[in-house]
């Protein structure tokens, strides 16, 4: 005897059930990509700060990496926000 007969035995039995409206796999993927881009940028800034503190003023390579990381972060943010606008995903 099932204690809750109104609940499905498993989700496969009810393929007609819609996923939760608050869950969006693409939004999650884009948010994760944005988080990774931000983390990469922060790590590069930290490396840059340590390099300057250690007295190394030749940071042109780091400057280029930081510039590329900023572009990557901006693109990830734009993709995330565009997805939210187009699909009306909630935070």
* Calpha distance 68→60 (Å, rounded): 12
Count: domains in the chain = 1
pLDDT tier at 91, thresholds 50, 70, 90: low
pTM to 2 decimals? 0.70
d(CA 69, CA 45): 10
Backbone angles phi, psi at 70, to 5 degrees: -65, -45
Exposure string of 56-69, with b = 16+ CB inside 10 Å and e = fewer, is eeeeeebeebbeeb
Give me the pLDDT at residue 22, please. Answer: 63
10 pLDDT exceeds 80? no
Q: Which domain covers residue 79, as residue numbers?
A: 24-87
Determine, yes or no, domain membership for 7. Answer: no
Residue 9 included in any domain: no
Predicted pLDDT of residue 2: 42
CB 51 within 8 Å of CB 62: yes
Convert the pLDDT of each residue in 14-70 to its tens digit. Answer: 444 444 556 789 999 999 999 999 999 999 999 999 999 999 988 899 999 999 999
């Amino acid at each position: 005897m099932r204690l809750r007969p109104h609940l499905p035995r498993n989700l496969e039995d009810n393929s007609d059930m819609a996923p939760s409206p608050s869950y969006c796999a693409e939004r999650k993927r884009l948010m994760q990509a944005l988080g990774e881009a931000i983390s990469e940028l922060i790590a590069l800034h930290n490396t840059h700060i340590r390099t300057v503190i250690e007295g190394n003023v030749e940071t042109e390579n780091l400057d280029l990496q930081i510039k590329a990381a900023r572009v990557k972060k901006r693109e990830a943010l734009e993709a995330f926000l565009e997805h939210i606008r187009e699909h009306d995903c909630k935070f």
